[in-house]
């Protein structure tokens, strides 16, 4: 592109994990498993910057992560903070043309029709991975689940490119 210079978008984290605190123990294990695969993850409990408000920390975590993982449970759907994090992610994804940055982990059995409108509006760009349960065994084991997570969190071979209008080539 004439008069445009390629810029590489760098991210501090591979993913930000959005969850409800009633799932904290499960999320800690999830975090540990992905961390052991070499992924750098941000959890609000571990990554808060002292002096910043919670809302500012959430926005910073979203902006500094390649992906946002929502741990979707019935309780999460009722959460005010969960709703806020989904809205902020949607706004960022739309502004930066990164609608494919969202990964939904369906921990509970939740139908697409029961999902928040904000997620339904970008559903065809979202990666959805089902946590193993009695209904989908033996076709979805924990091993298969984590392999799907690994595939979706790996960096793409092509670099995300941004273009600066003020640059000359």
The domains located in the chain, with CATH, are 12-154 (3.40.50.10140)
Give residue 125's pLDDT band: very low, low, confident or very high (50, 70, 90): confident
Q: How many CB atoms lie within 10 A of CB 11?
A: 16
Q: What are 10-42's pLDDT values in tens digits?
A: 788 999 999 999 999 999 999 999 999 999 999
What is the pLDDT at residue 107? Answer: 92
- Rounded to 10 deg, the angle between the 24-36 and 142-153 helix axes is 60
What is the pLDDT at residue 28? Answer: 94
Cα 144 to Cα 60: distance, rounded to the nearest angstrom: 31
What is the pLDDT at residue 9? Answer: 66
Q: How many CB atoms lie within 10 A of CB 59?
A: 18
Kindly tell me if the per-residue pLDDT of 67 is higher than 90. Answer: yes
What is the pLDDT at residue 159? Answer: 39
Cα 16 to Cα 163: distance, rounded to the nearest angstrom: 25
Is 0.85 surpassed by the pTM of this model? no
Cα 101 to Cα 61: distance, rounded to the nearest angstrom: 13
Q: What are 83-92's pLDDT values in tens digits?
A: 889 889 888 8
């Amino acid at each position: 592109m004439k008069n445009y210079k390629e810029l590489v978008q760098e991210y501090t984290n591979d993913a930000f994990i959005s969850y409800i605190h009633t799932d904290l123990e499960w999320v800690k294990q999830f975090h540990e498993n992905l961390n052991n695969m070499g992924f750098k993850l941000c959890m609000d409990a571990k990554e808060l910057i002292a002096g910043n408000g919670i809302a500012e920390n959430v926005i910073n975590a979203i902006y500094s992560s390649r992906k946002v993982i929502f741990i979707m449970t019935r309780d999460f759907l009722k959460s005010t903070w969960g709703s806020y994090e989904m809205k902020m992610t949607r706004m960022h994804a739309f502004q930066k043309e990164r609608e494919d940055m969202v990964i939904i982990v369906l921990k509970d059995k939740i139908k697409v029709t029961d999902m928040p409108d904000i997620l339904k509006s970008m559903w065809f760009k979202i990666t959805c991975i089902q946590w193993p349960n009695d209904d989908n065994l033996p076709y979805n084991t924990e091993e298969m689940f984590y392999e799907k997570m690994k595939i979706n969190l790996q960096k793409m071979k092509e670099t995300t490119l941004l273009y600066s209008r003020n640059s000359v080539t």
